[in-house]
Homo-oligomer: A and B are copies of this chain.
Amino acid sequence: MRSRRTVDVPTLVREAREGSPRALGRLLTLVENAAPELREIMAALAPHTGRARIVGLTGSPGVGKSTSTSMLVSVLRRRDLRVGVLAVDPSSPFSGGALLGDRIRLVEHALDPQVYIRSMASRGHLGGLAWTTPQAIRVLDAAGCDVILVETVGVGQSEVEIAGLADTTIVLLAPGMGDGVQAAKAGILEIGDVFVVNKADREGAPATVRELRHMISLGDRTEPHLWRPPVLTTIADRGEGGDEVLEALDSHWAWLQEHGQLEERRRARAAGEVQALALEQLRSRMGSPTEGVLREVVDEVLAGRLDPYAAADRVVADLA
């Protein structure tokens, strides 16, 4: 670790808002490192947030997430929109930084000043994605990104969490993955606003589409006001189908606004973020297992004289 430089927050925020990728990168690094300046940074960003559309993109390894992200960036750029990409890797609790290994597809956008791409490891923070990603989204939002794509690999909770962060969640599948439809059964039907079967030139694509549509029709989404997630096909490495995905995103965006769902999703997201920060604050106040009330009650628990619930009651009472 290098020694920390002093951070001139107002200048950094101004430069990021003026479009400096260096300033933007610096802010995101401060977010990733949970730097003490984050309070000041978030206060400075607050008035400039709330404009960007947040699109989540999730899928199992091998479905073509990077290629699809790259295709989406291309169609968004054709509309002259400013795009931020956060590639979140929740499987890397220990990694110190960006894992750009399979991000080669995104290199084509690397020189476009209207595209900002960043890989982030979620590093086992409390709540995983819940901690770092919303703040990274705030940074890109305040810096003037019109659309922020949050790409994450679908492993366990991460895809559920991403659905909580995004205005619209794209679930990506590929035919013949075997686990695709299995995964759908395991819960992604509930989180997808738009389903995309990528690699649609492969054998089995129509069957995957059919099965997905069937499963969606069986779901709870039958009330008239509820959104019916479309199932689209793409061949992302040839750039085919990107326009249709963007149209679906637009339709969903319109639906969100018409039915008050945008407000509702953003409220839930902000509440989750505030709660996570409040809990982290409370957690740090509880101190360490070797001092204070926590130490006392843990001694009792280890001796079998107190159960963990009664111990938790005492810890909570001590905070109040």
Contact = CB atoms under 8 A, between A and B. Distances in A.
Interface of A: 38-39, 42-43, 45-50, 90-95, 124, 126-128, 134-135, 138, 155-158, 160, 186-187, 190, 263, 266-268, 270-271, 273-275, 277-283, 286, 288-290, 294, 297-298, 301-302, 304-313, 315-316, 319-320
Nearest to A42: B307
Given A39-B309, A92-B156, A274-B312, 13 more contacts: A38-B309, A42-B309, A90-B157, A135-B308, A138-B308, A268-B289, A270-B301, A270-B311, A274-B297, A275-B312, A275-B315, A279-B279, A320-B320
- Copies of this protein chain in the complex: 2
Nearest to A153: B156
Contacts of A313: 281
Among A124, A298, A305, find the residue whose CB has the most chain B CB atoms closer than 10 A: A298
Contacts of A301: 46, 270, 273-274
A47 to B, nearest CB: 5
Contacts of A266: 302
Contact of A311 (B155, B274, B309, B316): B274
A312 B157 contact: no
Contacts of A290: 267
A45 B263 CA distance: 46
Nearest to A135: B308
8 contacts: A47-B305, A50-B302, A90-B157, A91-B155, A93-B157, A134-B308, A138-B308, A279-B279
B308 A294 contact: no
Contact of A271 (B156, B294, B319): B294
Contacts of A93: 156-157, 160, 187
A275 to B, nearest CB: 6
Nearest to A44: B307
Contacts of A279: 279, 282-283
Contacts of A305: 46-47
Contact of A302 (B267, B275, B289): B267
Contacts of A297: 274
A308 B186 contact: no
A275 B283 contact: yes
Contacts of A277: 308-309, 311-312
A308 B273 contact: yes
